[in-house]
Amino acid sequence: MKTLTALFAATALTLTAGLAQADVRPDHIEGLLKSGAVMPFDKLNAAAVAKHAGATINDTELDHNNSGVLVYEVELTDTAGKQFEVKLDAKTAAVLEDKLDT
């Protein structure tokens, strides 16, 4: 019985963690932009590219982090062919993370 309870608890925690980091649904984006909860994507893209001048954007994603903050993730390739992932606070464009993808 203890094993079954532990299994259910572990499953519930895993599902909850997954929801906390879920992508923002596309039908919610317009409302987030209008409310100011998310900065316009062209400004967020410019902030990401500013970290790697001349880089090309490969992909973007809007997510919630573990704290519920909206995070705009940008995958870039710089002029030397190196790939980076830049995470920005979607409301302020503050850089939260800038790492080389390996």
Expressed as residue numbers, the domain containing 42 is 23-100
Inside any domain, residue 13: no
Report residues of the chain scoring pLDDT below 70: 1-22
Res 8: pLDDT: 39
Inside any domain, residue 9: no
Q: How far lies 41's CA from each of 46, 62, 102, in Å?
A: 8, 10, 26
Inside any domain, residue 55: yes
- What's the total number of domains in the chain? 1
Res 54: pLDDT: 94
CATH of the domain at 93: 3.10.450.40
Collapsing DSSP states into helix, strand and coil, what is residue 63?
Answer: strand
Inside any domain, residue 1: no
SS (H, E, C) 35-60: HCCCCCHHHHHHHHHHCCCCCEEEEE
Res 82: pLDDT: 96
